[in-house]
Amino acid sequence: MFEYFDLWKLLAGLGLFLFGMRQLEVALEKLAGKTFRRFLKESTDRPIRSVFSGIISTTIVQSSSLVSLIVMAFVGAGIIPLVNAIGVVLGSNLGTTFTGWIVTTLGFKLDFSTIIFPLFAFGGLSFGLFKGRWKSISLLVLGLALLLMGLDFMKDSVSTLTKIVDINQLSGYPLIVYLLIGMVFTAIIQSSSATMMLTLSALHAGIIPLPAAAALVIGADLGTTSTVLLGSLQGAVGKRQLAAAQVVFNVFIDTLAFLFILPLLSVIEKLQIQDPLYSLVAFHSLFNLLGLVIFMPFVKQYAQLLEGWITEINSHIDLYIHKVPETVIDAALEALMLETRHLLYLVVRLNARFLSLHIEQIDTINNEFEKSDAVLAFTKLEHYITIKKLEGDIINYAHKIQSVNLKDDKTVTKEESEIYPQRIDSLMKAIRSGVDSAKALKDISDDLDYFYLMDNKELSDYFEVLKGSTHNLYGPIVNFLNQQQDSELLKEELDDLILKSEIFHHEFADNIYKKMGREKLSSLDLSTLLNVNKEFQTSEKALIKALELL
């Protein structure tokens, strides 16, 4: 049997296809980057627009899973409401069917050798010779070449099976078997597109009939939900709600498609589509389009149902203030102070994530803080939004304390009634400084990502110097956060840290200005370095100031 069928060629083709698809996703994400995310954010203000955004985005990046995961992060961060995110997911299901149309039109109609070698030549040479945006374009071309080569391997290896497989033997298996195979296979390899390509290859070779191929595609549609389920395991409740929305939608529409598989195929047959490959991709598009039409009028009610069904297990972002009534002044102030320390701890954790720093002292602060939702956040953006929400909760709690008439409280002395408002004001300023510290790094997160991905040694060396200085500061900062006492000595040490930070960043900027024109760096790289240096200093100064106020 194996003298006709090259199993390794089939597996190699599948591996190349998956690797090529991943490189396409990486390249498109780099090329689109902030613009792509801004498009998703700004074009989802209404359900109908969000559907078209999902269709267009998935057609561009050729991955419904990638679009779903990005939108899931937006939902978790509170940037996109659930109702609009559901629209994007519904649209992405239809958008992903364009992969089948493209491959059917090109992949099985052209001689691969006429395309693959020029793509490898252009992609490989430009990847080695150019930098910056062109490198991402080169990666995209190489990804496309690998994808097509993988498809060619799969097509060739599967076509040899026609010599040893009797199609009539396969017709004895019920369609549910094909559905389960498609579902499990897609869940394992995490790519419905790969399952679709294998199915198209088998159909093209005449190994499986059209109904069996349709059942495999339905199974792939079900299996792809495993990606969003994995992405929703951590983080905000909105992510779990969106994952449930996609799973319920796919299960519902795929069940209908399977029950009416033969009638739907007969509808396609009446459209005079003779080629079974086109019939299969038309079937895939048709049942996803029908699902969109069925669900669209009820998206708002669907979102409300999910929000009521899946709720936050722990509705408190804070760890202390929800446990203490604001009328018990002494205890409330203690809770306010502890919550402020909690917020600053979360800021330190987030800043360390932005800078990819491992700070050993963090683990010695307070194990209670590890229960915080922000520590468990799936993305840095969700972590930042959680800090912002906690800031709002603390401010509201502080206002409630301030609204209590201290003069009527017999347990509060006259001196305390004068000191307490000042203490609350200091804590509020500490919170604001802490959030400002996190915001300074969040605003340059794209620049930081660029530094981590670059291959320019001179630029990398500069960045490592910056990181090294910041790492040296964060050890003492975390130690101060862990100290309870309030002393002049502590203030002097913090002032000394601010001075060290100012001196370093001033000298770093001077060094950049002096070497301009002599380094192998572009004007854009130099400008980015200066901006990052400034924001590092802003972040450090704000965090040290917050500790001083605490």
- pLDDT at res. 259: 93
Nearest to 160 by CA among 226, 204, 128, 215: 204
CA atoms of 83 and 89, how far apart (whole Å): 10
Nearest to 316 by CA among 411, 219, 207, 394: 394
- pLDDT at res. 23: 73
Q: Which of 21-35, 45-59, 63-77, 300-314 has the lowest mean pLDDT?
A: 21-35
Tell me 408's DSSP state: G
Q: What are phi and psi of 325, to 5 degrees?
A: -65, 140
Q: Which of 132-146, 240-254, 483-497 has the lowest mean pLDDT?
A: 483-497
- pLDDT at res. 487: 56
Query: Does position 218 have pLDDT exceeding 50, yes or no?
Result: yes
Taking the CA atoms of residue 434, residue 440, residue 443 and residue 444 in that order, the dihedral angle to the nearest 10 degrees is -130
CA atoms of 12 and 27, how far apart (whole Å): 22
Q: Are 252 and 89 in contact (CB under 8 A)?
A: no
Q: What is the mean pLDDT of residues 384-396?
A: 88
Tokens of 306: 């999910």
CA atoms of 157 and 166, how far apart (whole Å): 16
CA atoms of 412 and 418, how far apart (whole Å): 10
- pLDDT at res. 411: 52
Cβ of 271: how many Cβ atoms within 10 Å? 10
CA 184 to chain centre: 24
Angle, vertex CA 136, rays to CA 134 and CA 137, nearest 5: 60
- pTM, entire model: 0.55
- pLDDT at res. 241: 86
Tokens of 87: 């629209």
- pLDDT at res. 252: 92
Q: What is the mean pLDDT of residues 349-375?
A: 66
Those residues with Cβ within 8 angstroms of residue 349's Cβ, 6 or more apart along the chain or in another chain: 362, 374, 375, 383
- pLDDT at res. 165: 46
Greatest alpha-carbon pair distance for the chain in Å reads 97
- pLDDT at res. 167: 44
Most confident stretch, 219-223, 237-241, 468-472: 219-223
CA atoms of 547 and 495, how far apart (whole Å): 11
What is the percent of the chain with per-residue pLDDT over 90, rounded to a whole number? 6
How many residues in the chain? 550
Pick the more confident residue, 164 or 84: 84
Tell me 43's DSSP state: T
Tell me 111's DSSP state: -
Give the type of residue at 142.
L
Pick the more confident residue, 188 or 335: 335
- Does the CA dihedral 518-522-524-530 come out positive or negative? negative
Q: What is the mean pLDDT of residues 223-246?
A: 74
Query: Does position 289 have pLDDT exceeding 70, yes or no?
Result: yes
Query: Does position 355 have pLDDT exceeding 70, yes or no?
Result: yes
The overall average pLDDT reported for the chain is: 77
Query: Does position 99 have pLDDT exceeding 80, yes or no?
Result: no
Query: Does position 496 have pLDDT exceeding 60, yes or no?
Result: yes
Q: Are 103 and 203 in contact (CB under 8 A)?
A: no
- pLDDT at res. 361: 56
Query: Does position 18 have pLDDT exceeding 80, yes or no?
Result: no
- pLDDT at res. 256: 92
CA atoms of 277 and 284, how far apart (whole Å): 11
Those residues with Cβ within 8 angstroms of residue 408's Cβ, 6 or more apart along the chain or in another chain: none
Helix axes 457-481, 488-515, angle to 10 degrees: 170
- pLDDT at res. 4: 47
Query: Does position 368 have pLDDT exceeding 60, yes or no?
Result: no
Tell me 103's DSSP state: I
Q: Are 219 and 240 in contact (CB under 8 A)?
A: no
CA atoms of 292 and 511, how far apart (whole Å): 58
Q: Are 431 and 390 in contact (CB under 8 A)?
A: no
Pick the more confident residue, 318 or 549: 549
Q: What is the mean pLDDT of residues 31-36?
A: 58
Tell me 209's DSSP state: -
Pick the more confident residue, 55 or 435: 435
Angle, vertex CA 149, rays to CA 146 and CA 150, nearest 5: 85
Q: What is the mean pLDDT of residues 374-397?
A: 80
- Does the CA dihedral 526-470-346-363 come out positive or negative? positive
Query: Does position 436 have pLDDT exceeding 90, yes or no?
Result: yes
- In this predicted model, what pLDDT tens digit does every residue of 49-70 receive, in sequence order? 888 888 887 776 666 666 776 6
Q: Are 169 and 21 in contact (CB under 8 A)?
A: no
Give the type of residue at 251.
V
Angle, vertex CA 16, rays to CA 58 and CA 33, nearest 5: 35
